Amino acid sequence: MTTLLSSFFPPSREQWQLLVWGFSFMPYVTGALWFRPVILMGKNSVTSRLNINGRFGWFIMEVPGFITMWAVLFGVKQQLGIETLPRMNYLMATIYVRCDVTQLSERILILQTIHYIYRSILSPIFLAPSVSPMHVSVAASAVVFNLVNGASLGGWLGGYGPITNEYWSSRMILVQLGLGLWIAGFAGNIYHDDELRALRRKSAREQAAKAEKEGDKQKTSVKKIYKIPQAGLFQYILYPHYFCEWFEWAGYWMIGGPSCVPAKSFLLNEIGTMLPQAVLGKKWYIEKFGKEKIGDRKAIIPCIL
Section 219-243 average pLDDT: 81
Task: Give the C-alpha separation, 303 to 57, whole Å.
Answer: 34
**Residue 220 φ then ψ, to 5°:** -120, -15
Section 103-131 average pLDDT: 55
Task: Transcribe 121-139 into DSSP letters.
Answer: IIIIIII-S----EEHHHH
| 253 Cβ contact partners less than 8 Å away, ≥ 6 residues apart | 178, 260, 263, 264, 266, 267
pLDDT level of residue 204 (50, 70, 90 thresholds): low
Q: Does residue 237 sit in helix, strand or coil?
A: strand
Q: Which amino acid is at 225?
A: I
Q: Which amino acid is at 46?
A: V
Model pLDDT for residues 259-280, shown as the tens digit of each residue:
889 889 989 998 988 898 898 8
Task: Give the C-alpha separation, 290 to 274, whole Å.
Answer: 23
Query: Residue 4 above 90 pLDDT?
Result: no
Task: Give the C-alpha separation, 215 to 177, whole Å.
Answer: 57
Choose the most confident range, by mean pLDDT, from 83-92, 147-156, 197-206: 147-156
Query: Residue 231 above 80 pLDDT?
Result: yes
Q: Within a 10 A sphere around the Cβ of 183, how many other Cβ atoms?
A: 18
Task: Give the C-alpha separation, 163 to 167, whole Å.
Answer: 8
pLDDT level of residue 115 (50, 70, 90 thresholds): low
Section 4-30 average pLDDT: 84
Instruction: Check residue 187 and give its pLDDT.
Output: 87
Model pLDDT for residues 147-198, shown as the tens digit of each residue:
998 899 888 888 888 766 677 678 788 888 988 898 899 889 889 988 888 8
Q: Which of 73, 93, 230, 83 is nearest to 159 (CA)?
A: 73
Instruction: Check residue 71 and give its pLDDT.
Output: 85
Q: Which of 100-104, 264-268, 281-285 has the lowest mean pLDDT?
A: 100-104
Average pLDDT, whole number, for the chain?
A: 75
pLDDT level of residue 18 (50, 70, 90 thresholds): very high
Residue, of 234 and 35, whose pLDDT is higher: 234
Q: Does residue 228 sit in helix, strand or coil?
A: coil
